[in-house]
Amino acid sequence: MLDEVLTPEERAVVAKARAFAEEHVAPHAARWEWERHYPLETLKLACAAGLNTIELAKQHGGQGLSFSCKLRAFEEIAKADFAFSFALINHHNACARFARDGKPAHVARLLPRMIKGELIGCAGLSEPGVGSDFGGLEMSAVKVEGGWKLNGAKAWITNAAVAGLSIAYAQTDRSQGYRGIACFVIEAERPGFQRDKPFELHGGHAIGVGGFRLTDYLAPDEALLQPPGQGFKAALAGINGARTSVAAMCCGLLQASLETAVRYTGQRKTFGQPVIDHQGVRWKLVDAATDLEAARLLTYRAARLIDEGGDAVLAAAHAKKFATEMALGRIADCIQAMGANGLRAEYPLARHLAGAKIASYTDGSIEMMNERIGVALPQVFG
């Protein structure tokens, strides 16, 4: 398993993430969903515990640990709630990306607030009419004296409900296609920024998904993270890690669902014996356990490749495709094993099923993974 290659320090971080989720996430996740609440206070607690600085470089105030360590930590948090885990990892990644690529003075001014959780970060890629077709971005950026003037809208952005800093992509020259895309740091406190009403998302309200609009927003020169020609490449550089992280979270969801289903079916009796002793139920849970092992092997292999600097494109696509499809079917099987009680709010399985469905879209849909893998078929099998 992946934990065997982690250092003692990294294993301690994974244990901390597990304990944090058990104490601060699991007891409240259902209420966040039913009350349509974005758990900003818990996100700040996670920041205080250092769960947003796992991969952040030490020179920037982070822990400088491996991608595999971060992945395992967020797999543990996802066992309690996918939505919270996804919100936190997006903030974590925004911290690390801004610290790595931002201008020193800009980073010195804003990063400490991000580390403390006073300023929540998000990505700014998807738009109201643009999802997976990254080259079709419509948000425009025009060079002006002292910076860039941005106009356009972003949508389906995790943490958009509260985020104060977005790492957003905009088109500087439509005739150049993806080569014209640049990346900017957008501050919600600057003129020209308007936050949209958060989406009412079933099963994942804690993600805080929504959007924002920029109207003649002036991004100063220091806010340019990646110039035209490099923005598209920079966005793709992190996609393998994002896909692998989502796959790990799906593993966490199924782990938690199996634990719930096995406990329940072991205690409830029908026809004079525990439900789990009925072969039809037991074998379904066996299939789920086997698929969980397979998904973890694919996911952890991709994580190792990322840490080693290897080519993880196909490994990440395989992991995300299999883990998301697998979680959808197998969490449903766990619910079925519990009968109608599997849908009751006192159990987390329906929320986990919704989380798995959300995961099937994030960072590239299952269909996009099929296309990514399909393009490589002649090279791999031809």
Are the C-beta atoms of 311 and 305 separated by less than 8 Å? yes
CATH code for the domain in which residue 21 is found: 1.10.540.10
Same domain, 10 and 134: no
Q: Where a domain ends, among 232, 254, 287?
A: 232
Q: Where a domain ends, among 69, 98, 119?
A: 119
Distances (CA, A) of 123 to 86, 294, 368: 12, 30, 20
CATH code for the domain in which residue 372 is found: 1.20.140.10
The total of structural domains in the chain comes to: 3
Residue 295 lies in a domain: yes
CATH code for the domain in which residue 143 is found: 2.40.110.10
Residue 382 lies in a domain: no
Same domain, 313 and 189: no
How confident is the model at residue 364, as a pLDDT?
86
How confident is the model at residue 132, as a pLDDT?
63
Q: Which two tokens stand for residue 92?
A: 């974590």
Question: Which residues constitute the domain of residue 75?
Answer: 2-119
Same domain, 214 and 242: no
Same domain, 209 and 283: no
How confident is the model at residue 112, as a pLDDT?
97
Distances (CA, A) of 259 to 17, 37, 283, 288: 18, 26, 15, 11
Same domain, 243 and 366: yes
Regions in the chain scoring below 50 on pLDDT: none
Same domain, 218 and 265: no
Same domain, 251 and 337: yes
Residue 359 lies in a domain: yes
Residue 322 lies in a domain: yes
Same domain, 156 and 247: no
Q: Amino acid letter at 184?
A: F
Residue 215 lies in a domain: yes
Instruction: Report how far residue 230's alpha carbon sits from residue 51's, in angstroms, rounded to the nearest whole number.
Output: 29
**Helices marked H in 102-197:** 104-116
**Helices marked H in the chain:** 8-20, 29-34, 40-48, 67-78, 82-101, 104-116, 231-237, 239-267, 279-308, 313-337, 349-359, 366-381
Q: Which residues contact 225 (CB under 8 A, 6 or more apart)?
A: 97, 98, 101, 102, 167, 183, 184, 185, 231, 234
Residue 344 lies in a domain: yes
Same domain, 242 and 340: yes
pLDDT tens digits, one per residue of 227-279? 998 887 887 778 999 999 999 999 999 999 999 999 989 888 888 888 898 88
Same domain, 302 and 255: yes
Same domain, 368 and 279: yes
Neighbours of 163 (CB within 10 A): 25
How confident is the model at residue 6, as a pLDDT?
96
How confident is the model at residue 375, as a pLDDT?
92
Residue 381 lies in a domain: no
Three-state DSSP state, 265: helix
Tell me the whole-structure pTM to 2 decimals.
0.95
Same domain, 209 and 198: yes
Residue 61 lies in a domain: yes
How confident is the model at residue 269, as a pLDDT?
81
Q: Where a domain ends, among 64, 86, 119?
A: 119
How confident is the model at residue 232, as a pLDDT?
79
